[in-house]
Amino acid sequence: MKNLILYRVLTYLLFAVAGLMSFTLLATIMAALANPALLFLVFIIACVIIYTYCSWRFLKRGIDAHLYCKPSLRDLIKVNGYGSIAFSILFGFASFTVLTNPQLMEAALENAISMQQAAVEGMEDSMRRSMNIVLKFLLVYSVLLLTHIIITFRLLRTHADAFHAH
């Protein structure tokens, strides 16, 4: 039961972030039309959003309401869960690396400032603080998402009867 309380809290936290990520997805899709290299990022973000929604639906229907869930829901959770694991590993590792190596953050800031030229003058400290907050958020989010995926996969096995018609 304690696992289910943690799972519920994580589900709703991730659900709120996925709502915000959906706006990021729209912007990334537009950018990917001009730069196809961003299509992988679009795919990964879409996986996280779909996984989050499907795991929430599994919680509400399969676990809480004890209703039948289509096997396609389980498949969507699994497939997008693997994509979300990739997101967690990529963004978690990148955030951890940059946070533990301040010279990498400085190099990235210098690069961003040089690209923006005069538009960013005097905002270096603000950019540094913002980048630090975003990196810490991504690190925490990646760990929470990975924890949620592990619990979801266990619950899929435990509640396998939710995917069989009674």
What's the pLDDT tens digit per position in 112-152? Answer: 777 766 555 667 788 889 999 999 999 999 999 999 999 99
SS3 27: helix
**In the prediction, which pLDDT does 112 show?**
73
pTM: 0.90
pLDDT digits (tens, 9 = 90+) for 81-96: 999 999 999 999 999 9
pLDDT digits (tens, 9 = 90+) for 51-105: 999 999 999 999 999 999 999 999 999 999 999 999 999 999 999 999 999 898 8
**In the prediction, which pLDDT does 3 show?**
65
